[in-house]
Amino acid sequence: MLSRRALMGSVALVAFGIAIPPASAFEFVAYDAAAVDKAIRSGKPVVVHVYAPWCLQCHAQASILSRLASDPRYDGIKFFKVDYDKQKDIVKALGVPRSTLIAWKGGKQVAKMSWGTSEASVLEVLSAVS
C-alpha cells in the first residue's frame, strides 16, 4: 500500500510533467563464454557488443543501444558485452575489432557491424534478430 508521502510524490511528478523512465526491455550482461554459447545454441536471438570504455565509436553505439533499451521489440534478445581491454582472448576468438556488434539467430550468425555509429547501422544489426 502506498504511503501518503509516496502518493503525493507521484502526483507531483505527473503534475509537473516529469516522466518516470520506462523499465529497460534489455540490458547487457558481461560476456561469459559458456552463457553465450548456451544462448546461441538455444536458437534464440543473441547480440554481443565488443566495447572499450575509451573508444568513441563504442560510446556512440552504447548511447544508441541505451535509447533503444525500452523498446519491447527487443525483449526476447539476450545481450552480452565483451570488455575489449580485459577479455582479449574473447576478442581474438571472435576475430573482430572493438566497436563491433554481432548478432545470432537460430544458432547462426546473421549480422555483424564494426565501427558504425549511426542509429541506422545499429538498427540493421538488431533487425536481423528481432
Instruction: Say what the pLDDT of residue 24 is.
Output: 53
Q: What does the alpha-carbon distance between residue 103 and residue 108 come to, in Å, rounded to a whole number?
A: 8
Mean pLDDT computed over 88-95: 96
Any idea of the CA torsion for 8, 10, 15, 16, to the nearest 10 degrees?
Answer: 110
Tell whether 64 is covered by a domain: yes
Per-residue pLDDT band for 11 (boundaries 50, 70, 90) equals very low
Tell whether 18 is covered by a domain: no
Tell whether 7 is covered by a domain: no
Instruction: Say what the pLDDT of residue 110 is.
Output: 98
Q: Which domain holds residue 107?
A: 23-127
Domain total of the chain: 1
Residue 34: which CATH number?
3.40.30.10
Question: Which region holds residue 71: left if phi is over 0, alpha if psi is between -120 and 50, else beta?
Answer: beta
Tell whether 9 is covered by a domain: no
Tell whether 38 is covered by a domain: yes
SS3 107: coil
pLDDT at 7 over 70: no
pLDDT digits (tens, 9 = 90+) for 27-79: 899 999 999 999 999 999 999 999 999 999 999 999 999 999 999 999 999 99
pLDDT at 83 over 80: yes
